[in-house]
Every structure is written in C-alpha cells, then in structure tokens.
A and B are shown apart, each in its own frame.
Chain A
Amino acid sequence: MRKNVSLKIFAGLVFAFLIVPLLIIIVTSFGTNSTIQFPIQGFTLEWYTKVFNNESFMDSFFLSLQVAFLATLLALIIGVPAAYSLARHTVFGRNWIKSFFLSPTIVPGLVVGYSMYQFIVIKFQFPIIQGLLLGHFLICLPYVIRVVGSTIEQLDFSIEEVSWTLGCTKIQTFIKVVLPNITSGIFASFMLAFINSFNNIPVSQFLSGPGVTMLPTSLMNYIEYNYDPSVSALSVVLMLGTVVLMFVIEKTLGLASIS
C-alpha cells in the first residue's frame, strides 16, 4: 500500500502533541532550579526525595490506593452477580435496570460528590471517608456492569446447563463454572475501575477533610500554591505507575481489551 506522506506527518504531529507535554514533565523533574525550567540546568534527584518525604503526599497516596481498592472490590462483589443476573435471567424492566446501573457515568462527577457530601456528610453525619468510599463505588460500578456483562453475554450458556444437569446447584455452578470463565472480564473491569477511581478528582473534591485527602486532590492543592519541580517528580512517579499498569494489562489481557 502506498503511504500517504501528509497523513503520516499529520498523525506524527498529533502523537507528538499527545506525548511531548508528558516528556517535558519528566525532564523538568530533574532540574536543580527551585522553579520549573526547561531546558534544565544541572541534574538532581532531590525533588524525588522531597516527594517521598512529603507526608501529605504519602498519606494521600495510601488513602487513594485503599479507597480505589475497596471501592473496586465492593463494585465487583455487588456488580458481578448483578451483571450475571441481567445477562441470564428474565428480569422485568431489564434494560431500564441496566441503564440505571450505568447512570453514575451520566451524572457529572462533581455533582455526584457534591450531592453526596450534602446528603450523607452534612445531613446524616456520616464520616467523610465513608462518603468517599461510596462515591468511588459509584464510579466503579458501571465499569463492572459493562465489562463483566459483555463477558457473560459471550459465554456459552450450555456449559451452565451441563453443570446443572450433572448435579450442581445454581450457586455451585456460578462459583465453579461461570466465575472461572469470566476472570478476564473481572480482571479488566477491576483494572478500569481501579484506574478511574485512583485518578478521579471531581467526586473526591467535596468529599475531603482533615486527614482525608486523595492524592490527585492533594497534588492539585499543592499546584495552586507552588511551582517547583517536586510536582514534576510526583507526576513522573504517577506516570511510572501508569506504565506498570499498562504493562500488566498488555501481558495479561492485551491493551485492546480495555480500549
């Protein structure tokens, strides 16, 4: 096939647009100057030690990890059986229920966080951390319903019938036959939900308080008052995390499965 040169140049520029800003961050994170400079003068790892010694960054990092993990887990526990039921059972108003499960994606994240803060934290005096966990559960649930749902729909129904015929109860079949066959869907939805919860800002924006600040929020607050390369250094650490995740996804499922 003949290659179209102008298309190649156009696409090349778009890829540069996508990747160069992030490369610049990587470079600036090694600069010795106390404000961000490009090109950098001198080379130092000082900003990385600053990040790892910054208590509020580290605390919020671990909080973000915990919340993302627990919210995803809760979404899987509730979402996987629900997705199964929606795919296999005759349910009255099935499409309606499915859209309802997916509805957290339609409501803007900031609105989710705002209304939940007002209702749960102000009106019912729940601790902020519980609101945060529930808010992130709402982010995670649609991924589980959508990804696991489509995996179950592609699963051959007759293997379940065989299992029932051979004497397994419905619950045994679900655990012994269905679950092992949909692990890739569960893993993909886990990854997607985890990444999106970990990176989410709008939902957490209202649901934060003393000692309860998620990493992106904490980074954002820092940026509003500081312009030093430790922001770049933390960004690089987060990008490394992304690279590791992408590598894991590529090796297990293939990146195509999440896009």
Chain B
Amino acid sequence: MTQRRTPYLILAPGLILLILFLVLPLISAIFPTFFNGGFTLSNYTSFFLDEYNFGIFWRTIKVSLIATLICVVLGVPTAYYISQSPKKWRGLLMSITLFPLLTNSVVRSFAWITILGQDGILNNALMNIGLLSKPLTLLYTEFAIIIGSVYLFLPLMVITLVGILENIDSEIMEAAETLGANRLLAFVKVILPLSVPGIIVGSILVFTGSMTAYTTPQLLGGNRNIMLATFLYQSATALGNWQGASVIALIMIVATLIVMKLFNWVAGRMDKRGEANA
C-alpha cells in the first residue's frame, strides 16, 4: 500500500505549490470577470466591441504574425547553413546564435533604441551619406516592435530548426540536384518540407513569445503602440482597473492556447496531406 502511495507523496509538494501559487491566483483573478450579479460574458464582448481595445488586440496579433513570418524567412536558410557547416565552425555559429538569446531582453531592446532613435545610429548614418534630409521616425512605431521581436526570438527559431535540419542527410540535396533541380528549387522542394516540424515548433515559440512579450513593446513601442502585455500593465497600475487587467490576462492565455492548437492542427493537416500524396 505504501508502495503505491510513494509517487504521490513525492509529487505532492510540487503539485501543491503549483495549485496554491499558479492555479488559485489565476482563478481568483479571472473568476470575477465572469460575474456581475449573475454569470456574464459582457466583460469580454465589450472588450472586443470597443474599438480602442480591439485595435490593441489586432496590433498584437499583427505584430506577432509578421515577426513570426520574418523569423521563418530568416531562420530556415540560416539554420540550414549552420547544419551544413563543418563541425569546427558549427560551434562558433551556434554561439553567435545563442549569445543574444542568453542576454537580457532589456539589453537587446536597448540596442535597438540606440539604432532606431530619432538621433540614433541609423538615422545619423543615413543623413551623413545624404540619403535623408531629416530623421525618420523609426522608434516608438509598430516597425520597431516587429524588429525588436524578431531580434528577440530569431535565435529560438534558428536553434529549433538546427536541431531538425542536422538530421537531414546532405546527400538528399545532392540527389535532388543530380535529378535536375537547381539549388533554390532543391531547397524549396526538399529542405523546406523537411523542416516543417521545426518551423511549426519555432513559430509557436516566436508567435506566443511576441504576443505576450512585455519588454519589447514597452521599450520600443512607446505610448501609442500598446500591445496586450503593456495594456495589462497599464490597466492594472496606471488606471487601477483590475477587472480590465484580468480580462486581458485571460485573453492572453486563451490566445496563446489557440495559437498552439492552430499551429499543431496545421502541422497535422500537412502530415496527412503528405501521406495522401505519397
């Protein structure tokens, strides 16, 4: 009898801590948003019907989607390049990729403040060579948040993909070329389909990461380009609207789950289609 109980005793402390400090706080914050006298969804319907709120929600989705697409476009060839490099180079290239990932995200966003600012490096450089007569507004725009998010999450995409692409036999590319495909075609027809599982996992990480990131929109978006995370913080602290903050909190959790399910569903569909074609 004790035998059967042991695992639960070992698991209990972790489970209890998670219930006490993750589940209960979440329930206690989110539960009240469904009650106003009786059960109601009005907090949520009015959130999405409000033009200002919906604009923030839409911006968050849009920025995350664009950042994810850019990460895929930049990440797949780079990961392929790393996976095909000789062993001695691979370590160095992986270090270059890992280094930003392990560096604090405030530092990484700050780097883009110095580059994109009104008096920043990019504007100064462009004005010095005479391409611009007055500085562009790059910082505190959606563009800045997108760049910052790509910068933040591209390493995750690359590392996820390297793990997948390393297992692809390099002879497969040679075979495709022998059979008459040029390099680009061989890449699109052979490497891209094989990296789909990595692209899916990487995209989930990038999309959910950008969608819930706080540092990037806070430092690079400014007051006019609020995203869900900064909106939550603002609602709770500056506006003292705890109910509103809890509504945003649940929207962020549900959006994360939907994105994960959606990407996995797409991956599943693609697998099936592949089988049907085979």
Q: How far is the CA of A223 from the CA of B222 in the complex (A)?
A: 12
Least CB distance from A171 to B in Å reads 10
- List B214-247 residues whose CB lies under 8 Å from chain A: 214-215, 218-219, 229, 232-233, 236, 242, 245-246
User: Residues of B contacting A250 with CB < 8 Å?
Assistant: 91, 95
Q: Say if the beta carbon of B252 comes within 8 Å of chain A.
A: yes
Q: Are B11 and A259 in contact (CB under 8 A)?
A: no
Name the residue on A nearest B29 (C-beta).
A115
Q: Which residues of B contact A141 (CB under 8 A)?
A: 14, 18
B261 to chain A, nearest CB (A): 12
Is there an interface contact between A205 and B104, defined as CB atoms closer than 8 Å? no
A19 CB to nearest B CB, Å: 6
Q: Is the interface of A mostly helix, strand, loop or mixed?
A: helix
Which residues 18-35 of A sit at the B interface, judged by CB distance below 8 A?
18-19, 21-22, 24-25, 28, 35
A89 x B6 contact (CB < 8 A): yes
Residue in contact with B95 in the complex, picked from A35, A199, A239, A246, CB distance below 8 Å = A246
> Closest residue of chain B to A122, judged by CB?
B242
Query: Chain B, 20-57, contact with A by CB distance < 8 Å: what is the 0/1 string?
Result: 01101110111000000000000000000000000000
Question: 5 smallest A-B Cβ distances: which pairs?
Answer: A108-B212, A119-B25, A21-B111, A11-B81, A89-B7
Interface residues of A (CB under 8 A from B): 1, 4, 7-8, 10-11, 14-15, 17-19, 21-22, 24-25, 28, 35-36, 38, 78-79, 81-82, 84-86, 89-91, 97, 100-101, 103-104, 106-112, 114-116, 118-120, 123, 134-135, 137-138, 141, 170, 195, 198-199, 201-202, 205-206, 216, 219-220, 223, 227, 231-232, 235, 238-239, 242-243, 245-246, 250, 255-256, 259
